[in-house]
Structure 1
Amino acid sequence: MILENLEYSEFEAGISTLDVELYSIIQNLQKVIDMLILDYPEWNQPTVAQVLIPKAAYQLTPELEKIDKLLQDESFEEPIVKQFNTQRGRPTVPVRVYIRMMFLKYYAGLSYEDLVPEVTHNLMYRFFCRIPIEQKVPDATALMKITTKYSEEVINEMNQRLLKSLVQKKLFKGRKTRIDTTVVEANIVHPTDAGLLYEGVKKLTKAVTRIKQAYGKASRQSTKSIRKMKDHILSINKVLRRRTDDTRKEVRKITGQMAIEARKVLAQADRLAKKLIPETEKDRKLRGNLLDTAKKVCKIIEQSEAVNAGNTKLADRLVSLNDPDARPIVKGKLGKRVEFGYKLQIQETEGGIVTGYQLYKGNPCDRILVDDALQKHKDLFGKAPVEMALDRGYYDSDNEKLAYGAGVKHVCIPKIGRKSKERTEFENTPTFRRLKRWRSGIEGRISCLKRRFGLNRSMLSGYRKTQTWTGLGILAHNLRQAAKLMA
């Protein structure tokens, strides 16, 4: 009997426990296991090419030399080795190669697709990444898969090990800290109810078609519902050009018609899901994808109907099918009143080193985040900072008491609203004004992280993947700043 071809009903008929265990073993062996290696075997072996190529062609810049020296610390690789070490399967991309290529990606602001040819043709980058001349550079798809595989916890631990190494080298002391929040945008277009309904119907129709084709039915994607939804989108665009008083009412009316059409497609998907009996792992994945998409489309329909009924304040509103964790965040920026993504808290110490970061779903109030930042500082340095500067969004008398109680000597949080005479005098002291000026420097740090290190927009979807994206960007930034601090 070929166990991998057994139907689910045959398990129900009562095969032995041994057969079930054997089936499980076969299924696990069929999955490709990647053997972890630190370097390419050829890296430490001298080659003819190295002799013929002048050293100046692959000589590292002073900054990259310092970063390479920091990355040679073996404890830096331990989080990956500890979690993914195995001697079975085919060799994966070496750990040291992957770490250096990810640094270059954020350091040079390259996409995965642009990173590979850049490292291939640039001998200095190839040497920095520890890739032999004869060795092919890992392709973009492999790098993407590894980035997805390495969890945020691994990246965060790598960041912590780097920071502890820098503290031991006494490159900074952590006497001062400044804290602020920003938004890491999700890689989505500006969401509208009509746009989400249209995308939902397209995705749901595609999922239904894939299941029919998997079961041997000669089926091609039905475009009738998609065409109707597209016509409604075009109608909305025409209405919006008029700019009359009735524009909003007409748009909501068309959106209501789109919701009705989406419910028809949803009902069709529901009927198919009930009839479907998964027989293989592929069938279960297809059915799971169908149910997941149907659940999201159902939520989009409900929130669209709620807005049509006059309820515009919806909790946990879905703003993207591909990134359901993203949330609308209002930060009060001119020209960008609402951003869609995740809230990021950054804390920085002297020398421009980011000593702590935390990504949050939604838009939690800044005032409740101070305790978390103080704890991160204590975990790294073993004590509270001497001076701490935050903007007025963090102001709360309890936060000042919390900071002083933790051991902070000077706290700078400008008060919101009317101030007493004593408070005004306190905020006019030289120490408070100095810290207030110093705090504004974190705006430049956030700007640098967004422009240079990819924190303006995450190219990975979902909360956990965005955590990984953010952690890699901050890791690259800290390596670069550490190189500047090194003598």
Structure 2
Amino acid sequence: MRNRFDQQLSIGKLLIADTVIPMAKRNGPLPALFAALKEIFTNPKWNSQVFEILDRAILPKNNTTGRPGMDLWQIFVLSQVRLCKNICYDDLHYMANHDMLLRQLMGVETESGYDKLSIGYQRIIDNVDLLTDETVRELNQLIVAFGHDVFKKKGEEALRLKTDSFVVESNVHFPTDYNLLWDSGRKCLDMVSKLVVDQDFPGWRKLDDWLKCLKNLSRAMGIGSASGGKGKEERVKNAAKNLILKAKTLLRKLEAFRIEFQPSSFNHIAILAALDGYMAYLEKHIDLVDRRILKGETIPHAEKVFSIFEEYTEWVTKGKKRPNVELGKKAGITTDQYHLIVDYQVMDHEADSQIVSGLAKRILPLFKVDSWSFDKGYWHKDNKKLLVGKVDQLVLPKKGKCNKEESAQEKTTLFKKLRNKHSAVESNINELEHRGLDRCPDRGYAHFKRYIGLGVSAYNLRKIGAELIAREIKNQKSLARKQAA
């Protein structure tokens, strides 16, 4: 049984509407986020729409039975605080139990002398995990509408958009064939240890020795590759031969174990399925080490795997000097003149120029667009043809040599002005990275996409809250001047 928010007042409980938001800029990003969240909660228009989205996504069909769950409002607040502060679940757990301002905004804080509700660590993780990528996207659209309601002086004011992309790194180590082989081998042994612990299965008494030997051979391979001096190539090949020999022996032993072992529970079946996956990776990386080092082949990019845990990880090279390589996924964002992110997209093996048609389909039906700027990476003749009639001022610099007409267009004053203003999106990307979108700690592709969406929504709410605080400070100063006069 779960509620939107428990409106039943109890003695000593502090009201969300009475939350006093600190106004000083030096207080960090949280006061601005809290100002926006408080406005959403107290404004019936946005309150009802937020809860409708959360209802559809989280509440079960039969919500009258079972133990009381965390309120929807508390889930929403905690998910935003985590990304706004760029903190781990340990820090979020601490804040949820000891930060008075956050607890009052969640609706769980009480006055001194009354019993305080304590929220468990795992409970926070399990409840925030209920938000999906689709739910977060709906919430983001609503937050953008809320932001435009705050920022826009005229309801029909057209937007001036800027689009760019950046890389959100996945939580992986730098991949090499031999350390991925080691990862595969140790996870195979880890799965075996979970299977044989329940029953006296022969042949794995020296499981720890297998692990230690494979690790030592992998380290010897790494030291040989990193060191220089005479005879380096021969040393590396010898280390590779020893590593491959041990890994092949382990693979044969695992294949025999896989045939002989009889699962006796659903848990065993799940572990065996994971073991099959890690064995496939072990076999693959034995082959890659053999071909690359012993046979001197160049491995095609399509055959390479960059993580056996975060399989979606891409090797992204954006042509920058630092960092020259990033491991993760590219994310495209589109911002407006108020620095709100009106659209975001996780790019799955896509170049910048390939996402423009999808962007246009999502954005143009929702917003009136006055200008839209891109960098050269988005150039394609079909993209220009698609947007020319629909956007008043299109800034899409051509990649390569311009003809006379294109050159004249790119030299106009308005084109240059809008192109210079395009760099503002870089500061938006920088702030996003400070909101947690530099590296994603969550596991799995679905959680990776949700993490990016939560980062965008926390960014937008902080921008909106900063504007609300600025207006409140202005009103207070104006009132003080009137009273002084």
TM-score (norm 2): 0.84
Letter aligned with residue 175 of structure 1: L
CA distance in 1, matches of 2:359, 2:333: 9
Deviation at 1:459, TM superposition (A): 0.7
Q: Does 1:391 align with 2:375?
A: yes
Do the aligned partners of residues 237 and 277 (structure 1) sit closer, same or farther apart at CA in structure 2, a change above 3 Å counting?
Answer: closer
Do the aligned partners of residues 411 and 125 (structure 1) sit closer, same or farther apart at CA in structure 2, a change above 3 Å counting?
Answer: same
Question: 121, 128, 137: which is aligned to 2:98?
Answer: 121
Deviation at 1:253, TM superposition (A): 4.8
Contact 1:367 1:394 in 2 (8 A): yes
Contact 1:77 1:158 in 2 (8 A): no
Q: What is the match of residue 131 of structure 2?
A: 150
Q: Which moved more, 1:244-253 or 1:202-211?
A: 244-253
CA distance in 2, matches of 1:78, 1:259: 57
Deviation at 1:50, TM superposition (A): 5.2
Q: Does 1:476 align with 2:458?
A: yes
Q: What is the match of residue 228 of structure 1?
A: 213
CA distance in 2, matches of 1:146, 1:109: 18
Q: Which moved more, 1:223-232 or 1:431-440?
A: 223-232
Do the aligned partners of residues 457 and 248 (structure 1) sit closer, same or farther apart at CA in structure 2, a change above 3 Å counting?
Answer: farther
1:365-404 matched pairs, under 5 angstroms = 365-381=351-367, 383=368, 385-404=369-388
Q: What is the match of residue 111 of structure 1?
A: 88
Q: Does 1:296 align with 2:281?
A: yes
Deviation at 1:131, TM superposition (A): 1.6
Question: 74, 98, 105: which is aligned to 2:48?
Answer: 74
Deviation at 1:59, TM superposition (A): 2.4
Q: Which moved more, 1:245-254 or 1:274-283?
A: 245-254
Q: Does 1:183 align with 2:176?
A: no
Do the aligned partners of residues 411 and 137 (structure 1) sit closer, same or farther apart at CA in structure 2, a change above 3 Å counting?
Answer: farther
Deviation at 1:126, TM superposition (A): 1.0
Deviation at 1:305, TM superposition (A): 3.3
Q: Which moved more, 1:190-199 or 1:233-242?
A: 233-242
Letter aligned with residue 315 of structure 2: P
Do the aligned partners of residues 119 and 145 (structure 1) sit closer, same or farther apart at CA in structure 2, a change above 3 Å counting?
Answer: closer
Q: Which moved more, 1:290-299 or 1:454-463?
A: 290-299
Deviation at 1:347, TM superposition (A): 0.8
Question: 45, 49, 53: which is aligned to 2:9?
Answer: 45
CA distance in 1, matches of 2:127, 2:231: 52
Deviation at 1:256, TM superposition (A): 4.5
Question: 22, 46, 49: which is aligned to 1:61?
Answer: 22
Q: Does 1:138 align with 2:119?
A: yes
Letter aligned with residue 45 of structure 1: L
Do the aligned partners of residues 170 and 48 (structure 1) sit closer, same or farther apart at CA in structure 2, a change above 3 Å counting?
Answer: closer
Q: Does 1:319 align with 2:280?
A: no
Deviation at 1:244, TM superposition (A): 3.6
1:452-467 matched pairs, under 5 angstroms = 453-467=435-449
CA distance in 1, matches of 2:205, 2:246: 20
CA distance in 2, matches of 1:423, 1:248: 53
CA distance in 2, matches of 1:463, 1:416: 32
Do the aligned partners of residues 403 and 280 (structure 1) sit closer, same or farther apart at CA in structure 2, a change above 3 Å counting?
Answer: same
Deviation at 1:237, TM superposition (A): 4.2
Contact 2:147 2:340 in 1 (8 A): no
CA distance in 2, matches of 1:281, 1:312: 39
Question: 433, 442, 448: which is aligned to 1:450?
Answer: 433
CA distance in 2, matches of 1:320, 1:146: 28
Q: What is the match of residue 483 of structure 2?
A: none
Deviation at 1:217, TM superposition (A): 4.1
CA-based RMSD: 2.6
Q: What is the match of residue 98 of structure 1?
A: 75
Deviation at 1:228, TM superposition (A): 2.3
CA distance in 1, matches of 2:209, 2:41: 56
Deviation at 1:342, TM superposition (A): 0.8
Deviation at 1:156, TM superposition (A): 1.2
**Which secondary structure does the structure 2 equivalent of 1:358 belong to?**
strand
Deviation at 1:231, TM superposition (A): 2.1
Deviation at 1:327, TM superposition (A): 1.4
Q: Does 1:341 align with 2:315?
A: no
CA distance in 1, matches of 2:67, 2:398: 60
Deviation at 1:44, TM superposition (A): 4.0
Do the aligned partners of residues 247 and 462 (structure 1) sit closer, same or farther apart at CA in structure 2, a change above 3 Å counting?
Answer: farther
TM-score (norm 1): 0.83
CA distance in 2, matches of 1:94, 1:221: 50
CA distance in 1, matches of 2:260, 2:365: 54
CA distance in 1, matches of 2:68, 2:206: 40
1:209-288 matched pairs, under 5 angstroms = 209-217=193-201, 222-240=207-225, 242-244=227-229, 247=232, 250-251=235-236, 253-288=238-273
Q: Which moved more, 1:413-422 or 1:176-185?
A: 413-422
1:154-173 matched pairs, under 5 angstroms = 154-167=135-148, 171=152, 173=157
CA distance in 1, matches of 2:160, 2:466: 19
Do the aligned partners of residues 129 and 191 (structure 1) sit closer, same or farther apart at CA in structure 2, a change above 3 Å counting?
Answer: same
**Which secondary structure does the structure 2 equivalent of 1:116 belong to?**
helix
CA distance in 1, matches of 2:397, 2:238: 47
Letter aligned with residue 66 of structure 2: G
Deviation at 1:297, TM superposition (A): 2.4
Deviation at 1:316, TM superposition (A): 5.2
Identity of aligned residues (%): 19
